[in-house]
Chains A and B, each alone.
Chain A
Amino acid sequence: MIGTTHDKDVHLAHFAALEAGLDGRKAPWVHALRRGAIARFAELGFPTFEDEEWRHTNVAPIAKTAYRLAPADACAALTPATLEALGIDDLAPNRIVFANGRHAPNLSALGALPAGVRVGSLAAALETDRARIEPHLARHARIEANAFVALNTAFLADGAFVEVPKGVVVLEPIHVVFVAAPSTTRGGAGAPTVSHPRTLVLAGAGSQVTLIETYVTLGESAHFTNAVTEIVADANAVVDHYRLQRESIEASHVSTTQVRLDRACALSSLSISLGGALVRNDANAVLGAEGGEATLNGLYLGTGSQLVDNHTTIDHAMPHCASHELYKGILTGAARGVFNGKILVRKDAQKTDAKQTNKNLLLSPDATINTKPQLEIYADDVKCTHGATIGRLDEDALFYLRSRGIGAERARSLLTYAFASDILRRIKVAALRSRLEEQIFEQLHTANPVKDST
């Protein structure tokens, strides 16, 4: 049994300190949100195995750690060379960078954005744009059921704010980079840090925008990233969202991506999870008006003793909406994967067309996957399909490649990569796709040590 009551205390103490440090003048409405959230976190505590949503993912390593709050001034330690070394400097012409969740203007660079488009610090926007933000912030990713969302919201201070006005098309992708910089902190060296990155995206009616969210670690140390992203797409908006997690192999990473689609929106969110020791991603889409089309795709790689858990929920609340979902996992070593795909079709959501697929490749005898579709259908005129596969590399295909002179290890890497490429080819941002192709090819080679390079 996990002693959750005790484990919360660290975070409650941080909150008390944070509250004491506030001067009371700044955006009191935000602080009301925070107070509600910390109270909810205190009630919920960290989830345990008894919680159905967390049955396969033990968060005790997070709950048991006495994290320090990651310092807010870490951006001074980052330089453009840091971004280059992390391979994230050239993925998109518009870049906004956060160090431990705080805006780093020195590393951010925006191209020529259309008039009215805002890409900036959430902290600044909280002061100046309450009317725009208050109806959305923490209204979609709800604190009620998820302790991690509550915890993130309790520490809400900064993050990314992106707003695309009605009818505006942003051609170039906007790259939001969250760098965890645990090792640059002063004092208390060695104690792991926690940060709570936050993103709010408002896509106006008929707008189009492409967003890339990247999570990386400076260095190899342990830390905890607890991220929440809310994306709100108004009628007829087209939003392409990519989420790339390649933090330190020692990191714990918990995230919620909550998207809401209005009438006739097309929103796709593609998640790539490469790093982290303990990773849990919740991706939730609400189809809140007729004619919406939501796509949730994902690729997760696990090696060593990594645990990668992806939970998705697609809420078909209204009729005539479609959802497509393809998640693929490659697990080797003693890695563990979890996929839980919930599709909720509410009573009014007639003519729903939902398709979910989860495919897993297990490359070693010790790798495991728990995959579960979870369909809750209350309407009677709907089309819902789901399928899950767990497999190993195809022996016939391996022999075919080898019979042409390709070495056994290379053949394995090729087939593994081919499995992943099904997701990678869906990435429309060419720079991101080719960078990921390189990184994933590299990672698969490392996971399957190449004895024969031919």
Chain B
Amino acid sequence: MALLEVKNLHARAAGNEILRGVSLTVNAGEVHAIMGPNGSGKSTLAQVLAGRDSYEVTEGEVLYDGKDLLEMAPEDRAREGIFMAFQYPVEIPGVSTAYFLKAAVNAIRKHRGLEPLDAVDFLKIVKQKLKLVAMEEALLNRPINEGFSGGEKKRNEIFQMAVIDPRLAILDETDSGLDIDALRIVANGVNTLRKPDRAVVVVTHYQRLLNYIVPDFVHVLLDGRIVRSGDKGLALELEEKGYVWLEGEVASA
């Protein structure tokens, strides 16, 4: 059984149809890249999968591990193993990163019938994962993302992902706004987390990130539909010819 199965998904926001029949199958162990120009709907797809209620699904279905994903609250999706790294991580003054992450981890553990982690065990895991994204321990006492640079916010997302240990990770334009060093750190973090029972969906505008996170499959999203799927070679071809190439083909088809 596929880990994620998106079938003919249609979604709209503020009356505009953004996704117009997306179908996608992701198996455990695979890395999928979803590429597309601005406005193609790729971030919408990520947000719909994470459970953002500002989008309305009008048609189609999404099965996650065989279950109806669209029926689940965002927190239940997270507890079932879905993690989305935000394109624009939110600043939350007054809530420390450590408190927040511990609450998240223990909510997920409870859902899976596990005992909550105590402070000592939690800290042990967290320290190890901080190294993965080259972040300082001081991060833990800082309010969530408050005053962080763009790069720090993105690294914090990957750090959280590493701590939470999801089955399906969705990276929503994690590469946007990153310099080359931060990009390497983020990509390295993601690669370390690649394993046979986890799938990763990388949403990106540029091929650049895919030099570091090499996908098994590449899908091109244009105007709310996947118009072409292939292997990593497709991303390179896109880099060379631009989205105009496929836009032309779709128009003439």
Contact = CB atoms under 8 A, between A and B. Distances in A.
A411 B54 CA distance: 18
Interface string B70-85: 0001110111000110
A258 to B, nearest CB: 32
Nearest to B52: A399
A403 B50 contact: yes
Contact of A405 (B52, B92, B94, B108): B108
Contacts of B54: 395
B98 to A, nearest CB: 13
A397 B78 contact: no
Nearest to A405: B78
A406 B92 contact: no
A74 B105 CA distance: 51
A394 B92 CA distance: 9
| Chain A residues touching B, majority SS | helix
Contacts of A405: 75, 78-79, 104-105, 107-108, 111, 164
B179 to A, nearest CB: 24
Contact of A415 (B73, B79, B92): B92
Nearest to A454: B107
A23 B107 CA distance: 68
Interface residues of A, number: 26
Contacts of B84: 403
* Chain A CB within 10 Å, residue with most, of B50, B83, B103, B164: B103
B92 A404 contact: no
Contact of B78 (A394, A402, A417): A402
Given A417-B94, A454-B110, A406 B103 contact: yes
A407 interface: yes
Contacts of A84: none
B94 A407 contact: no
A144 B136 CA distance: 59
**Contact-size category for B:** 20 to 34
Contacts of A396: 90
A418 B160 contact: no
Nearest to A411: B75
A421 B86 CA distance: 26
Contact of B92 (A400, A410, A452, A454): A400
A422 B90 contact: no
A427 interface: no
Nearest to A407: B75
A421 B94 contact: yes
A408 B93 contact: no
B89 interface: yes
Contacts of B101: 404
Contacts of A420: 94
B106 A454 contact: yes
Contacts of A452: 75
Given A405-B75, A405-B79, A408-B73, A397 B92 contact: yes
B51 interface: yes
Given A417-B95, A420-B94, 19 more contacts: A402-B74, A403-B78, A403-B84, A404-B100, A404-B104, A404-B164, A405-B75, A405-B104, A405-B105, A405-B164, A406-B100, A406-B103, A407-B107, A408-B73, A411-B75, A418-B92, A418-B94, A418-B143, A422-B93
Interface of A: 394-397, 399-408, 410-411, 414-415, 417-422, 452, 454
Interface of B: 50-54, 73-75, 77-79, 83-84, 86, 89-90, 92-95, 100-101, 103-108, 110-111, 143-144, 160, 164
